């Protein structure tokens, strides 16, 4: 990889042990993906729950956080965290064990020493700071990446926890994948003749298109919607697409910033697909419950405050025997 003078200094250890470890990791990642060089990034977002980190991962964090030169071990750009996996106030009620709480406290202490902000959110584009079009960032959460790439027009790959933290510590990430213009072109063309109304339907549409896309490097471009979705609708649409298809980017013609026209993002003769309301119904029916429901879980980390309020009102109505109707479609 081609490194500039500052990156070479980091790799040589001239700027401290922690930037050196971070740059060593990034060079390995960049070499694996064929990156020619590094790209400066302005924000980093880390998925680093202790269930995934385990004891070894937390020890690695603690090593970074306890080097002899505090000024060399702190992040260089705003770096934030995904939701945590432990609730200290309700640990006993949730039957979380003491060792889980201890591991979580150790991880939090290490992140704080590294200068990471414990925002504990996977909707930072709604609650903290939305990236802007063309802004290169290093984000980890799948819903964060697909929303930031598609709706905001920012540029990020799915960064693993060590890679996102390394980006925070160096202010750079390898230039490959969705940092490149060539990877942001559409690879399949989807036309729908039906515009969802409920958040659940937006998620189902995203799931159907994600299954059609089928892999991380596929980029759907979608036509046929009769209105621009809201922020929450786009969030559910993108998160489901990422879950069903590992997708990191989509384009909505006339809606998302890079696709004012189809030809802005699509070449001729793309593989074409048609999605109807029947496809959405079929996906819903696949998850149909045949018996009474005992527990309903709202995925609060990805719900906005307005979504949470609507969920509470719907739950209250359901307990009284009423069905919560969807909001009217906006034209």
CA distance 118 to 297: 24
% pLDDT > 90, the chain: 74
Query: Which of 78, 11, 68, 12 lies closest to 43 in space, CA to CA?
Result: 78
Non-local (6+) Cβ contacts of 63 within 8 A are: none
CA distance 315 to 322: 9
Is the per-residue pLDDT at 323 higher than 50? no
**223 DSSP β-pair partners:** 191
Question: What mean pLDDT do residues 127-145 have?
Answer: 95
> CA 272, 273, 274, 275 torsion: positive or negative?
negative
Question: What mean pLDDT do residues 239-251 have?
Answer: 96
Q: Please, which pLDDT band fits residue 298 given cuts at 50, 70 and 90?
A: low
Residue ranges of the domains in the chain?
Answer: 5-181, 185-286
Non-local (6+) Cβ contacts of 98 within 8 A are: none
CATH fold of 5-181 reads: Aconitase; domain 3 (3.30.499)
H or E element that contains 277: helix 277-286
Of these ranges, 47-61, 156-170, 296-310, the one predicted with the greatest mean pLDDT is 156-170
Give 323's DSSP letter: -
Q: Please, which pLDDT band fits residue 194 given cuts at 50, 70 and 90?
A: very high
Q: Please, which pLDDT band fits residue 152 given cuts at 50, 70 and 90?
A: very high
Is the per-residue pLDDT at 235 higher than 50? yes
Collapsing DSSP states into helix, strand and coil, what is residue 37?
strand
Q: What are phi and psi of 284, to 5 degrees?
A: -60, -45
Is the per-residue pLDDT at 297 higher than 80? no
């Amino acid at each position: 990889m081609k490194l500039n003078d500052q990156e070479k200094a980091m790799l040589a250890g001239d700027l401290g042990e922690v930037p050196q470890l971070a740059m060593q990791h990034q060079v390995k990642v960049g070499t694996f993906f064929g990156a020619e060089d590094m790209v400066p990034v302005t924000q980093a977002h880390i998925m680093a729950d202790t269930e995934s980190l385990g004891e070894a991962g937390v020890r690695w964090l603690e090593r970074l956080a306890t080097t002899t030169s505090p000024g060399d071990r702190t992040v260089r750009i705003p770096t934030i965290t995904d939701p945590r996996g432990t609730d200290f106030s309700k640990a006993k009620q949730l039957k979380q064990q003491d060792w889980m709480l201890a591991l979580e406290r150790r991880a939090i202490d290490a992140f704080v020493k590294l200068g990471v902000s414990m925002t504990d959110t996977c909707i930072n584009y709604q609650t903290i700071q939305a990236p802007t079009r063309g802004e290169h960032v290093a984000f980890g959460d799948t819903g964060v990446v697909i929303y930031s790439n598609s709706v905001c027009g920012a540029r990020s790959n799915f960064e693993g926890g060590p890679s996102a933290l390394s980006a925070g510590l160096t202010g750079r990430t390898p230039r490959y994948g969705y940092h490149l213009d060539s990877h942001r072109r559409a690879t399949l063309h989807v036309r729908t003749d039906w515009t969802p109304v409920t958040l659940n339907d937006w998620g189902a549409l995203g799931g159907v298109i994600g299954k059609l896309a089928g892999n991380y490097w596929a980029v759907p471009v979608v036509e046929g919607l009769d209105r621009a979705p809201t922020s929450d609708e786009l969030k559910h649409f993108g998160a489901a697409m990422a879950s069903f298809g590992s997708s990191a980017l989509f384009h909505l013609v006339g809606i998302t910033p890079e696709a004012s026209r189809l030809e802005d993002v699509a070449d001729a003769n793309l593989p074409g697909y048609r999605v109807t309301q029947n496809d959405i119904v079929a996906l819903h029916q696949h998850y149909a419950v045949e018996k009474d429901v005992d527990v309903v879980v709202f995925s609060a980390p990805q719900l906005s405050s307005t979504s949470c309020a609507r969920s509470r009102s719907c739950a209250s109505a359901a307990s009284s025997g009423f069905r919560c109707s969807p909001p009217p479609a906006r034209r």
